[in-house]
Amino acid sequence: KPILFSGMQPSSDSLQLGNYIGALSQWTQMQEDYDAFFCVVNLHAITVPQDPADLVARTRRTAAQYIAAGIDPQKSTLFVQSQVPAHAELAWVLNTITGFGEAGRMTQFKDKSQKQGADAASVGLFTYPVLMAADILLYQAASVPVGEDQRQHVELTRDLATRFNSRFGETFVVPEAQISKGTAKVYDLQEPTAKMSKSAETEAGLIKVLDPTNVTKKKIMRAVTDADGEIRFDREAKPGVSNLLTIYSVLSGRTIESVVEEYAGRGYGDLKKGLVEVVEESLAPVRARTEELLADPAELDRLLATAADRANEVANRTLDLVYERIGLIR
């Protein structure tokens, strides 16, 4: 089977709808056809400040949400990044072949460092994409299912793999980003031109997988729309309504046209009410299953430890080869 790698940061108590639509729901389908590695990337999470006690809890919660959404730990390797030291080790090596200017062109760094203030942003945040390249290349992954916002980082990963291979000899598989059209970017409900993010400063536009029903309902009913009052899809002129339609369409498995047709001539309130139901239908079972899994943290930790053993085995094989190629004594 071809190999797949993907991950999410435990940077919040809950995943958000964009993580679910843009990544997680793709993962559950793809795990059947791939030898899949799904990682909780806690080393990435600490590139911005995290509370230690929260970080531990969020790491388990993120893993639990993967399983609750349908990742099968018997089929896929679901592990925690910090339990596999090779990620940090390969990242160091890749740092040495990454150009400063090249890393400086990454838009996620520009966005996140701007939010933090240039002096507050860490060097770790700057080299985040290099660590991500290490994650992917260690497993010789052919496919990386991510949202649109990670496309540039996968491109950098490809460049680094190609560069390493040509300097030191064939070592890495050059991976490909798998970004599903149309669903690749879910926007913030209050700021529908910015992507939804689980670590957003304000939560009003953020649909969290683990939010209770009444909170989700309130957020959807208050979503920003526009003044013209017509339900139709137009990402430029009507970003708010278009985002609601996209979410409705993916979660219900219907085309945007059919949703538009159903709500033609009706108000935004009706569309939002319908959307609340569609969202709840998808998320409520995930929420319930997550709570069950979290009730038995020992079992969860056992699953993660077993997966980490397998991940370490595969990752170390690649790292051994890398060290040999470069001339580093192992």
**Residues of each annotated binding site for L-tryptophan:** 135
Shortest spacing between CB 235 and ligand ATP, in angstroms: 14
| Catalytic-role residue among 1, 181, 198, 208 | 198
Q: Give yes or no for a contact between 223 and 240, defined as CB atoms under 8 angstroms apart.
A: yes
Check binding of 199 to ligand ATP (CB under 6 A): yes
DSSP per-residue string spanning 174-233:
--EEE--TTTS-PBPSSSTTSB--TT-S--TT--BTTS-HHHHHHHHHT----SS-----
DSSP conformational letter for 330: -
Taking alpha carbons only, the member of 13, 28, 103, 105 closest to residue 59 is 13
115 is catalytic: no
| Catalytic-role residue among 1, 110, 195, 217 | 195
| Separation CA 113–CA 75 (nearest Å) | 37
Check binding of 198 to ligand ATP (CB under 6 A): yes
Check binding of 197 to ligand ATP (CB under 6 A): yes
Annotated binding-site ranges: 9-11, 18-19, 135, 147-149, 186, 195-199
112 is catalytic: yes
Shortest spacing between CB 199 and ligand ATP, in angstroms: 3
| Separation CA 33–CA 31 (nearest Å) | 6
Annotated binding-site ranges for ATP: 9-11, 18-19, 147-149, 186, 195-199
Considering beta carbons, is residue 28 or 165 the nearer one to ligand ATP? Answer: 28
Considering beta carbons, is residue 65 or 98 the nearer one to ligand ATP? Answer: 65
| Separation CA 141–CA 131 (nearest Å) | 15
Considering beta carbons, is residue 11 or 157 the nearer one to ligand ATP? Answer: 11
**Contact code string over 145-184 relative to ligand ATP, x by CB under 6 A:** -xx-xx---------------------------------x
DSSP conformational letter for 142: S
Report CA dihedral (277, 280, 281, 282) to the nearest 10 degrees: 130
198 is catalytic: yes
Interface ranges with ligand ATP (CB under 6 A):
8-9, 11, 16, 18-19, 22-23, 146-147, 149-150, 184-186, 195-199
Catalytic site positions: 112, 195, 198
